[in-house]
Amino acid sequence: MDRQTIHLTVNGTPRQVEIEPRTMLLDVLREDLGLTGTKNGCGQGHCGACTVIMNGKAVRSCVTLARRADGAAIETIEGLAQDGELHPLQRAFVDQGAVQCGFCTPGMIMAAKALLDANPTPTEADIEQALKRNLCRCTGYAKIVEAIQVAAGQRSAPEAAPDGRQSAVVGQRMPRPDAVAKVTGAAIFAADYRFPDMLYARVLRSAHPHARVLGIDTSLAGTAPGVVAVLTAVDVPGRPNHGVSRHDWPVLVAVGGVVRYRGDALAVVVAETEAQAEAALEHIAVEYEPLPAILSSEEARRPDAPHLHPGGNLLKHTHVERGDVDAAFKQADVVIEQVYHTPATDHAFLEPEAAVAVPTAGGVTVYAGSQIPFKDQAQIAASLALPLEKVRVVHPAVGGAFGGKEDISGQIHAALAAVVTGRPVKLVYTRSDSLRYHPKRHATTIHYKTGATRDGKLVAVAVEILGDTGAYASLGEFVMARTATHAAGPYDVPNVRLDSYALFTNNPPAGALRGFGVPQSCFACETQMDMLAERLGLDPLELRRRNSVRVGSTLPTGQVLRESVGLLETIERVEQAMRAAPVDDRPADPTRRRGWGVACAFKNVGLGGPLPDSAGADVELTLRLGSPRLCSGQAGQATEAQCIVRAGAAENGQGLPAVLAQIAAQELGVPYERVQVILADTGQTPDGGATTASRQTFVTGNAARQAAIRVRESLAGAAAEELGVSPDTLVFANGQVYVSSPRAAGLTLEQAIALAHREGRATREQVVYTAPPTVDVETPGDTHFAYGYGTQAAQVEVDVETGQVRVLHVIAAHDVGKAINPLGVEGQLEGGVLMGLGYALTEELELDNGLVLNDTFARYKVPSIDQRPRITPIIVEDPAAAGPYGAKGVGEITSIPTTAAITNAIYAATGVRTTRLPVALDDLHLSDPPD
Ligand code: FES
């Protein structure tokens, strides 16, 4: 192939690179120049993560031919900070909380810089226009817009963030400890790793949704250019199947075995380049015997349906019953019955799955973004027949997960390839791979029946839910159990019968996705509540208030709520905010209709079930040399106290590093910026379990807090002896150890640490925290140790000529127990609202014979910046006794009520009731709009 040399100036430095005709600018930056701050989110120019500035203009480098950059000046994220000072945009993104997972951040900042360079005083519409092709799945865009306005001088910067020297760090709006690395491009994501002599892997997937594999011929592929190995099932030395709950998912489907969906893996090609590995896939011949495919849960349930697994097609039936449901329906004054349909949807995290495996002496180290690194370690070790300690999983920065990185993606394939070849191997999913192959949100069909008295008291709820759990178990049984247990909503209902069925089909597996099954049943429940309110002539919020759970209420599972039930306050706060909202219900344009809708939700915190819900954390106080600027060169004068928190919990963007740093700073009095948080490295952190079920603030937060308290007590013993006071009179704050009574000078933290070291007292402690016990849904007792509650109101505007819906405003009040970092909680609220908006209006996997058709961001519609509504986040704090400082969790519930609030608002605006998601715009196309 003709190669050519191009010359370009990158961040002010002349560079010369040899390229091929089809080489993209992104590859030059990342692969040739090592500037991995620029990210590849889709490779098709749809997400904007690869945005750089070329000759003053923002361009998407993944679709910009490198030869077009010959002679150009290129600016990347690495070039923005000057002399150690962040660019104003970078500073504003950090301080404003505009960074979560950080994968979109470099592209966002570069697009914003191009805008401000050309237009220093942009309007909000200018910002939307400039960034509308830059997707963010985490933040809801609100804080990104605010950060740009701060950088443009149009909005005040937030008050200086507390420096952690004040005594109360918990409850303060703190910037994330990892935000600076993310705004400068220094944060390393899995695909950013490079090792000498590295190979690349690509995977051959099934051509059928259901078929027996009669033969796999890899001989031709094995001799293709650059190919080093072609691996099939016979190369898997250990357990042939993986699975996050049941081991039913083949690592590679063997000859004689059965493929159960279009993502089943048949062979792994390992080659010198990714292009060579991809090209060789074409040369693998597979002979199939097609089998009848089951493509919906209804088909799976038929008595004559073929069995997809030895136990049949039913993965799990969950049944919850309380009271006498049939009798209650007979006595009800009003009964409402309706069928609902919800689609399969995708997490659409901006960072596609990636794994880099490096062989080690007798083992392997795998760098991969995951929600359960320790379970990855166990699954890799089992399939490779390696001792557990020979497999190390290191969790780099992760570009979002939302439940979609709990299952194995490429970790075992990369590890196997590395061990077989003896060389490092990188395996990165394309956007199409990601949208096609990893587990999805369950598509459901929900039969819902509600009975109530004339005065609006719920007396009975009966729900049956069929869930398409796809080809393999994943977390489907647990997800569908939550769909059932939460189906009656956060309401006191004396008679309930809730059934859910997780059914195997030949569609992509279904598993966890933010909300874990509750968004589906919440949509149905809250639509029922809206219909009931209308039938009874009641205000929708008043109906919810009359039925709201409170302390002493009994849930359908029989669990009695004994504390921390903040739902009523969230209803009150939303009602107040709606009253304060501008009255603009009648747009000037007569083809547009506006309406408000409301919805409530609750969501468990923690895993639930009979197994202990535990997480470990290790907290160390140590002395380190200060920064060179501060160093006087004299021994002893340059040391400063530093805290290191090591925990096994995975951070996928949700904000755990800030929470743990705040807890350590609070308990030990060490400045916040001197707390280093190391997460999820099986080689150096204790196990933290899964980052799922909104549990990590609660469990890992408690573990870190208790470990920090032990360290403090150890230091207090040393300091008390030195000062001649009782240890319980000492206060750790502001980098000092004070004597509180009588208040007098004490020691610096550094002196206290040095004292403890000299006396051999512990300065490092590890705690494994176990949450209060829970039971499964069939057993009387607490199914969960805590719940979060929320109420949201949405205002929409519908163009009844085109059917277009614009969500104008969402008020979101959520009881989080205690907001350890309100800045982070707001970010979760705003991001969750936008995800719920997508579920209502745009998101749906289009499947044809088991194949995902909309496998690009051009066709799978994630909400963009110009679709974001105004969001009013309201934090309600009804503390949980066992939570750290009362905190519960916030990750999932923020997106659950949004969908129904929007569809109920559409009804208020148009009179069109949505029972199938996403909203069909054609249905809103009213030839004769209502007055
Ligand atoms: Fe934007 Fe995660 S912070 S995609």
Digit-coded pLDDT (tens) for 658-669: 999 999 999 999
Model pLDDT for residues 145-158, shown as the tens digit of each residue = 999 999 999 999 87
What pLDDT shows up at residue 841? 98
What pLDDT shows up at residue 159? 66
More confident residue, 588 or 260: 260
Model pLDDT for residues 778-802, shown as the tens digit of each residue = 888 899 999 999 999 999 999 999 9
**Dist. CA 87–CA 183, nearest whole Å:** 9
User: Over the chain, what is the mean pLDDT?
Assistant: 94
pLDDT average, residue stretch 833-862:
98
pLDDT average, residue stretch 550-564:
96
Select from 42, 51, 94, 103 the residue to mutate for testing ligand 1; criterion: most ligand atoms less than 8 Å from CB.
103
What pLDDT shows up at residue 590? 83
pLDDT average, residue stretch 482-487:
97
Structure tokens at 614: 């535990």
Model pLDDT for residues 223-244, shown as the tens digit of each residue = 999 999 999 999 999 999 999 9
Question: Ligand 1: which residue has its CA nearest to atom 4?
Answer: 136
> Is the pLDDT at 919 greater than 80, yes or no?
yes
pLDDT average, residue stretch 387-402:
96
> Is the pLDDT at 347 greater than 60, yes or no?
yes
Q: Output phi, psi for 732, to 5 deg.
A: -100, 110
Model pLDDT for residues 63-95, shown as the tens digit of each residue = 999 999 999 999 999 999 999 999 999 999 999
How many angstroms is it from 564 CA to the middle of ligand 1?
31
Structure tokens at 741: 């009574």
> Is the pLDDT at 740 greater than 90, yes or no?
no
Q: Output phi, psi for 710, to 5 deg.
A: -65, -40
> Is the pLDDT at 214 greater than 70, yes or no?
yes
Question: Ligand 1: which residue has its CA nearest to atom 2?
Answer: 101
What pLDDT shows up at residue 64? 98
Q: What is the largest CA-CA distance in the chain?
A: 86
> Is the pLDDT at 400 greater than 80, yes or no?
yes
Phi-psi category of residue 516: left, alpha or beta, with phi > 0 → left and psi -120 to 50 → alpha: left
What pLDDT shows up at residue 352? 98
pLDDT average, residue stretch 48-65:
98
pLDDT average, residue stretch 374-397:
97
> Is the pLDDT at 741 greater than 70, yes or no?
no
Least confident residue range of 229-243, 381-395, 686-700, 906-920: 686-700
Helices and strands (H and E) in the chain: how many: 22, 35
User: Given pLDDT bands bounded at 50, 70 and 90, which one contains residue 625?
Assistant: confident
Select from 42, 77, 94, 100 the residue to mutate for testing ligand 1; criterion: most ligand atoms less than 8 Å from CB.
100
pLDDT average, residue stretch 626-636:
45
Instruction: Give, in order, the Cα–Cα distances in Å from 601 to each of 520, 524, 900.
Output: 11, 11, 10
**Dist. CA 871–CA 462, nearest whole Å:** 34
What pLDDT shows up at residue 628? 44
What pLDDT shows up at residue 408? 95
> Is the pLDDT at 634 greater than 70, yes or no?
no
Rounded to 5°, the CA angle 562-567-569 comes to 110
What percent of the chain clears pLDDT 70, i.e. is strictly above it?
96
> Is the pLDDT at 608 greater than 90, yes or no?
no
What pLDDT shows up at residue 630? 36
Q: Which residues are catalytic?
A: 892
| DSSP bridge partners of 681 | 394
Q: Output phi, psi for 869, to 5 deg.
A: -85, 170
> Is the pLDDT at 688 greater than 90, yes or no?
no
> Is the pLDDT at 315 greater than 70, yes or no?
yes
How many angstroms is it from 384 CA to the middle of ligand 1?
34
> Is the pLDDT at 310 greater than 80, yes or no?
yes
In which residue are the tokens 């008043």 written? 542
What pLDDT shows up at residue 585? 67
Looking at the CA of residue 99, tell me the nearest atom of ligand 1.
3
| Burial group, residue 438, by CB count within 10 angstroms (0-12, 13-18, 19+) | buried
> Is the pLDDT at 629 greater than 60, yes or no?
no
Ligand 1: lining residues by beta carbon, under 6 Å: 99-105, 136-139, 350, 400, 653
> Is the pLDDT at 187 greater than 80, yes or no?
yes
Instruction: Give, in order, the Cα–Cα distances in Å from 111 to each of 70, 134, 135.
Output: 21, 8, 11
Looking at the CA of residue 138, tell me the nearest atom of ligand 1.
2
Select from 137, 178, 182, 514 the residue to mutate for testing ligand 1; criterion: most ligand atoms less than 8 Å from CB.
137
> Is the pLDDT at 184 greater than 50, yes or no?
yes
pLDDT average, residue stretch 159-164:
54
- The SS3 of residue 142 is helix
More confident residue, 745 or 7: 7
> Is the pLDDT at 403 greater than 80, yes or no?
yes
More confident residue, 611 or 76: 76
Rounded to 5°, the CA angle 114-116-121 comes to 155
Model pLDDT for residues 266-293, shown as the tens digit of each residue = 999 999 999 999 999 999 999 999 999 9
More confident residue, 416 or 604: 416
Model pLDDT for residues 408-465, shown as the tens digit of each residue = 999 999 999 999 999 999 999 999 999 999 999 999 999 999 999 999 999 999 999 9
Helix axes 105-118, 124-131, angle to 10 degrees: 130
Question: Ligand 1: which residue has its CA nearest to atom 1?
Answer: 136
Structure tokens at 35: 């500037």
| DSSP bridge partners of 641 | 623
How many angstroms is it from 699 CA to the middle of ligand 1?
25
**Dist. CA 426–CA 194, nearest whole Å:** 8
How many angstroms is it from 396 CA to the middle of ligand 1?
15
